[in-house]
Structure formats: structure tokens, C-alpha cells
A and B are shown apart, each in its own frame.
Chain A
Amino acid sequence: MTATGALAALGRAAIGALRAVGRVALFAGRVTARLWMPPFHGSEFARQIVAIGWLSLPVVALTALFTGGALALQIYAGGARFSAEAVVPSIVAIGMVRELGPVLGGLMVAARVASSIAAEIGTMKVTEQIDALVTLSADPLRYLALPRVLAATLTVPVLVAVGDAIGIMGGWIVGVERLGFDARGYLRVTTEFLEAGDVVSGLVKGAVFGFIVAVAGTYAGMRSGRGAQGVGQATKAAVVGASVMILAANYVLTEAFFSA
């Protein structure tokens, strides 16, 4: 392939990706618009709160626990080079609450929830259940997409908050057990150092990531191709798409909250 050929291919890929993002954004807009138009399917929403929020707790909690612990070890090792081991509690707290809590939580939810939403809705598409909804006068966006998007947007911040707390606890356990910190002193530094803005920014990120996960899952599921292979492709597209969009959105939000 010549250099221009490679450039052209790159350009086509970039345009294709932009198109896809545009279509997803349009889809997200159409789903969100239904918030203001009744009816609202409450029982489906309740089911999704459990499926997306409650059942994701163990995964998010374990991820946060181990990440907090590892973070404490790394910061201690790095801090030791400047004789600044004492920064461990504050940097663990800020790292968890601002970045790792929301991002890792979001990615774990993407793996767990975007995939299962895409597989469930994709299977419904392939077996004509989506068509059946339409023939029964139910709007698939309202009945399937809205409850999932709303449930994810509301529950992922809660998951992030729980993950923040457990991650800080992971750092605290390692700090006290392995690094010789005083148990009370560690917690005092953490609470004194953290500001409301740190926590709130992380929760806002969580809401955005939850929205992304559910939109990616439902969008991919509803566009699923035919047969088992179509559902497999949709599931993969949902997880990859959600993960990349989460990381991109995280950068944008971090710029917005913390630059300058």
C-alpha cells in the first residue's frame, strides 16, 4: 500500500468512526426525548435498577478494593524516592475519587452491562420480539431503551461512590498492614484532604459513563444483524464502543473539571 493509500484508508476509518458516533448520539437523543413523553414503564425500570445497579456491586467493589491497595503500594514506592511517603493517604484518595473509581467502575460496568444489554436486545431483535413490541403498540425505545439508560445513569454514580469508599479502604488496609501507617491518622488525612468537588466530579463522571454504557448496549442490540453471529457482533461492538467512549469522555470531563 502506498503512503497516500494508507492515508486515504485512515481518513475513511476516521470518517466512519465519526459517522458511528453521530448515529449513536442521535439515538441517545431520541431515547432521552422520551423522558418527557408518557407512558413511563416503571416495572421495567425497577427491574433494570436491580440488573444494572445492584448486581454490579460485587464486581465494582472488588475492582475498587484491589485498585486502592495497589495504588497505595505504588504511591508509597514512588513517594519514597522523594522521602514523601506521607502523601499516600491523600494521593490514594484523590486518585480513586477523581479518576480510578469512575473510570474502572465504568469499564467494569461496560464489560458486564453493555454486553448483557446488547445480547438481550440483539436476541430479541433476531427472534422478532422487537417487531412484536411494535405490533403490540409498544415503542421499543420507550419500553426497552429508556428504562435501561435511566437506570444506568442513576445507579452508576452510586456504584462509583461505593467503589470510592471501598478503594480508599483498600489503600487504608495496605497502608496500615503493610506500610506502617497509623490507622486513625490515615483516615484523618484522607477526610481532611478530600474536597467536595473531587467527589462530585467523580459522581458526574459515573453518571455520564452509565449513560454511555446503556446507550451503547441498546444501540448495538437494536442494530444487531441476523442470527447468533449478528448477536455476537453486536455484543462485541457494545463493549468496545462503550469502553472507548468512556475513556474519551473521561478525558473531556477531566479537562472540564480540573484544567487551569
Chain B
Amino acid sequence: MIALEGLCKSFGGAPVLRGVDLVAERGENLVVIGASGSGKSVLLKCILGLITPDAGMVRWKGAALGPDNRADFLARFGMLFQGAALFDSMPVWRNVAFRLLNARPALPVTEARARALDCLARVGLSERVADLYPAELSGGMQKRVGLARAIAAGPEVLFFDEPTTGLDPVMAGVIDRLIADIVRDLGVCAITITHDMASVRRIADRVALLHEGRIRWRGDVAALGSDPDPVLRQFVAGSPEGPIAPTG
């Protein structure tokens, strides 16, 4: 459903992506793993048009994704940001209902609020939370609100940027379960970025390893442990020695 072809991006002469080819299908969660600073977030932002790639293209449902059809794409899209990126000027329920309230035509406020409460319940948050402000929530709750916001308008495509980073292991497990359930129940095309290997095993259908600006390895989760590729082995084992030079 989403295909990247030869995506390249440099910042100030330093190449980050050097020709990434990747395909994500409907109904599966494609997990992109890679060291910190390897360009995983840049990859997502190229798809969203927040960063313009130097070369290569993104296809969505077969057509090149550009200014003409990006609005269409975004209308069917939801994303959980690394820091949740909730709007701190508005209460939780307005965050969740943001797309519904700002769509044309907009949903009536009472209906939008009801939908927001449904989505919050879906991620295990009660009505009490709906009227709090994001700053009053813990990190795990903010991520759950971010999830609720991402699914509020029934998306076809979902991106998760490091959904478990900064959470305790139990909360990370909760978020992973929610993500796995949502991807399965909504039948969406999902791309998740992470470097949390426990999380990969819980949510991934297929895995791609981003290394030195290219997809170094791709395959099913089941093949993760047994593949001889030295970069993959180092990443999976979390070993300080190997071909991955820690950069930042």
C-alpha cells in the first residue's frame, strides 16, 4: 500500500538516507529498526512530506505521493509521535477529537466528544481523563491519548514513532498490546519505528533494519533470531562491539 523507492536525503552534505526501498502492506505492521540517529524519523517525515527527499519517491496505492494527493493521504492517516505531541492548549478530549472538530464539515461538538470518549475507552482511559490537560498526564497516559487521537477518524494508515521509548516495561507492554490490537482490528497499514527489541517481537509482522542509510535486512519476525547478518545480530543482541558504530 505504501512503497518507498530509492529514497535519499542529506542534511548539510551529510547523507542520512542513501536509497531506501521498502514496501508496507495493508493489515500488517512493518517495524523499522535501527540505531539512534540512523534516520528512522527522517524516513517517516519524508513519507508525510514534512521533509522533502533529495531523490526517490513514495507511492501510495500505486500513485506517486505528492502535492496533489497528499491531502487525501493525510485524511486517512494517523500517527503516534515519539513525545506524544499532544496540543497542550486544549483538554485531552479535544486533542482526540481534533480532526473531527476541524474537518469540513465538522462533527457537532457533542458527537465529537462522544467519539473521543469511545477512543479513550479503547485505549483504557476513563471519562475523568477527558477533561484534563496533557500536562497533567503521565508519559504512558500521554502516549495512550496520542494513540486515541491517531485512530479517532478511522485511519487506513498508522505510523508509530518509538511508541515505547521512555516508558517503564509494564507500560511499554500495555502500549504494545494496544498497538497490536489496533492494527489487527482496524486492518490498517502500519509502520512502526523502534529500537526496543522486546517491543519488536510483540508487535511486528515484518521487520526492516535501517543501517547506513539503506535497508540492510528485511524479513519476518520469526527470522530475527536466526539470521547470520552481523549488523542484525549485533542490533538484536545489543552488543557494543560490531559493525554498528555508535554515533549518537
**A134 and B102 contact, CB distance less than 8 A:** no
| Contact A132 to B75, CB < 8 A, known contacts A38-B104, A137-B102 | no
Query: Residue-by-residue, is A129-163 near B (CB-CB < 8 Å gives 1, otherwise 0)?
Result: 10110111110000100000000000000000000
Given contacts A137-B99, A138-B98, contact A131 B48 (CB under 8 A): yes
B13-21, B81-89, B190-198, B203-211: which one contacts chain A?
A: B81-89
Count A-B pairs with CB separation below 8 Å.
48
Contact A132:B79 (CB < 8 A) given known A127-B85, A137-B71, A138-B98: yes
Whether the pair A138, B50 counts as a contact (CB closer than 8 A) is: no
CB-defined interface of B14-48 with A at 8 Å, one 1/0 digit per residue? 00000000000000000000000000000001001
Docked-complex contact B78 and A135, CB < 8 angstroms: yes
A129–B88 CA distance with the chains assembled, in angstroms: 9
Q: Is the Cβ of A127 less than 8 Å from the Cβ of B45? A: no
Determine whether A30 belongs to the interface, using a CB cutoff of 8 Å to chain B. no
The CA of A88 and the CA of B45, in the complex, are separated in Å by: 63
Say whether B74 faces chain A, with CB atoms less than 8 Å apart: yes
CA distance A134 to B48 in the complex (A): 9
Q: Are B87 and A39 in contact (CB under 8 A)?
A: no
Closest Cβ of chain B: how far from A47's Cβ, in Å?
8
Closest to B102 in A: A138
**B48 and A127 contacting across the interface, CB-CB below 8 Å:** no
A132 touches B71 (CB 8 A): no
Interface contact A131-B45, CB-CB below 8 Å: yes
Decide if A128 is an interface residue (CB 8 Å cutoff): yes
Among B50, B78, B85, B86, max chain A CB count under 10 A is at: B85
CB-nearest residue of chain B to A131: B50
A192 to B112, CA, bound (A): 58
Interface status of B237 (Cβ within 8 A of chain A): no
Taking a contact as CB atoms under 8 Å apart, the answer to whether B104 and A39 are in contact is yes
Give complex CA distance A207, B128 in Å.
43
Is the Cβ of A137 less than 8 Å from the Cβ of B75? yes
Contact between A134 and B99, CB atoms less than 8 A apart:
no
Q: Which residue on chain A has the smallest CB distance to residue B99?
A: A136
A134-B48, A137-B75 as given contacts; A128 in contact with B103, CB under 8 Å: no
Q: How many residues of A contact B (CB 8 A)?
A: 15
The answer to whether A127 and B83 have CB atoms under 8 Å apart is yes
A41 lies within 8 A of chain B by Cβ: yes
Q: Is B93 an interface residue (CB 8 A)?
A: no
Instruction: Verify B48–A129 contact, CB threshold 8 A.
Output: no
Q: Are B104 and A131 in contact (CB under 8 A)?
A: no
Q: Please tell me if B160 contacts chain A, counting CB pairs below 8 Å.
A: no
What 0/1 pattern do residues 83 to 115 of B give for CB contact below 8 A with A? 101111000000000110011100000000000
CB of A128 within 8 A of CB of B102, answer no
| Complexed CA–CA distance, A41 and B98 (Å) | 12
Any A CB within 8 A of the CB of B235: no
Highest count of chain A CB atoms <10 Å: which of B79, B82, B104: B79
Pair A137/B45 contact, Cβ less than 8 Å = no
Instruction: With CB as the reference atom, state the residue of chain A lying closest to B87.
Output: A129
Partner among B74, B88, B102 whose Cβ is within 8 Å of the Cβ of A135: B74
- A residues near B149, Cβ cutoff 8 Å: 136
Whole-angstrom distance from the CB of B97 to the nearest CB of chain A? 10
Q: In the bound complex, do residue A135 and residue B83 qualify as a contact, i.e. CB atoms below 8 Å apart?
A: no
Additional A-B contact list (7), CB under 8 Å, known A124-B87, A128-B82, A135-B74:
A39-B104, A127-B85, A131-B45, A136-B98, A137-B102, A138-B98, A143-B102
| 30 CB < 8 A contacts A-B | A39-B102, A41-B102, A127-B83, A127-B85, A128-B83, A128-B85, A129-B85, A129-B87, A131-B45, A131-B48, A131-B50, A132-B79, A132-B87, A134-B48, A134-B49, A134-B50, A134-B74, A135-B48, A135-B74, A135-B78, A135-B79, A136-B74, A136-B98, A136-B99, A136-B149, A137-B71, A137-B74, A137-B75, A137-B99, A143-B102
